[in-house]
Amino acid sequence: MAGVRAGIARSHRRRRYASAGLAAFTLLAVSGTAVLVARPEQPASRPADNLAANAQTGPVPPQECRLSLGWLPEGLVEPSRICGPTAQSVLYPMYDGPYLSVSIDQSGWQGPRNTRGWEPVTVNGEAGYLVTRATRTFVKFPLPSGRWVSVEYGVGMPGARATAGLEATARRIAEHISETPTESLNAPFAPTYLPPGQRLANLRRDGDGASVTYQDGSGRIIGATSTSTTEDGVIGEFLEFDDGAGYRISWTSNPPGDYLPLKQGERIADIQGRPAHRFNEDGIVVVDGFHGGQLTVSTRYPVSLHRKLPKPANPTPELVRIAEGVRWLG
């Protein structure tokens, strides 16, 4: 479960960065579902979306979080939240204890088609699905709005010793989820340049920093392409979304070199008077010592199962231009 590992511990964050600039199949922790970032065959067929019409530079508008958890078990640590037009999710990562991942779909997904191995479950009068393994339980169900919720609660990685009571706890968490607004997230930085067509997708905050994602796709679901199976035997689906090409601007307050070892990157010219490196075949640019932390700009390419897409041009000049234009707000 790459999605779980990416949020487990600081020592594992290197793996998340190693794939941040790649267009690849990503297994979501919250649903046992794989996601394909894609572009439909014809622009005219792209689904409607709720992203702003134009690229947004300057201060990032506050992003309202509309995922409320009315009950939580003990032992969870400080969470990270992602809020915005394409995401409403929260992750309590695994630090020698239980973890919890919850998301409310914003893409128009109508629930799983392949439910083999899942049990029917009723949550607040709505029909959903549940599956339990030795170290975790998944629950999927719709809210009154019609948006589907995905819950994963667990203790330990798949293959670890079994934990009793996971299903009862996951059910209770699910029963207390709503779309009541809880807070608004703000970014401590502002981009002054974005490539044409890029629009705000979502904003992420945790105790270490923030990241803002932009994309030129609608963020809406295109369809389910095939099934997938997790390492502990949970059957899900590959889902294809129209996210298109995108960029992520991140800042972390971790000590320099802790979040992404600079010695693994290629030194490039200073950005805003600070040391800069590029990683992952030019898909990531990192500026060290940016207001006491690291500024990272990464790109995401669209991929498709239906046709071969042209190889993108070298993204480094665009990443450098974005990084040069990031202004600190505090």
> What are 281-325's pLDDT values in tens digits?
769 999 999 999 999 999 987 766 666 667 678 899 999 999 999
Confidence tier at 50 by pLDDT (50, 70, 90): low
Query: How is residue 306 written in tokens?
Result: 């239906």
Mean pLDDT of the 189-217 span: 95
Beta strands 235-242 and 34-38 are: parallel
Q: Residue 274: which residues within 8 A CB-CB, separation 6 or more?
A: 287, 288, 289, 290
Measured over the CA atoms of residue 44, residue 46, residue 49 and residue 54, the dihedral's sign is: negative
Tell me how crowded residue 231 is: count the other CB atoms within 10 A of its CB: 11
Residues 260/55, Cβ–Cβ less than 8 Å: no
Q: Residue 250: which residues within 8 A CB-CB, separation 6 or more?
A: 209, 210, 211, 212, 295, 296, 297, 298
Q: Could you tell me the pTM of the whole model?
A: 0.83
In a 13 Å sphere around the CA of 286, the CA atoms on its Cβ side amount to 25
% of residues, the chain, pLDDT over 70: 78
In order of 28, 78, 94, 194, the CA distances from 74 in angstroms are: 24, 12, 13, 42
Distance CA 241, CA 305 (A): 12
DSSP code for 11 = G
Mean pLDDT of the 228-236 span: 92
- The pLDDT score that the predictor gives to residue 260 is 59
Mean pLDDT of the 49-64 span: 78
Residues 1/158, Cβ–Cβ less than 8 Å: yes
* 3-state SS assignment for residue 179: coil
Position 171: which residue type? R
CATH number of 49-54+61-183: 2.60.120
Query: How is residue 275 written in tokens?
Result: 């040391």
Is the pLDDT at 3 greater than 50? The verdict is no
Is the pLDDT at 17 greater than 80? The verdict is no
In 3D, which of 294, 293, 291, 292 has the Cα closest to residue 277? 294
**H or E element: which one contains 286?**
strand 284-290
Tell me how crowded residue 178 is: count the other CB atoms within 10 A of its CB: 17
Query: How is residue 81 written in tokens?
Result: 């939240």
Residues 179/143, Cβ–Cβ less than 8 Å: yes
Distance CA 207, CA 172 (A): 26
- The pLDDT score that the predictor gives to residue 52 is 65
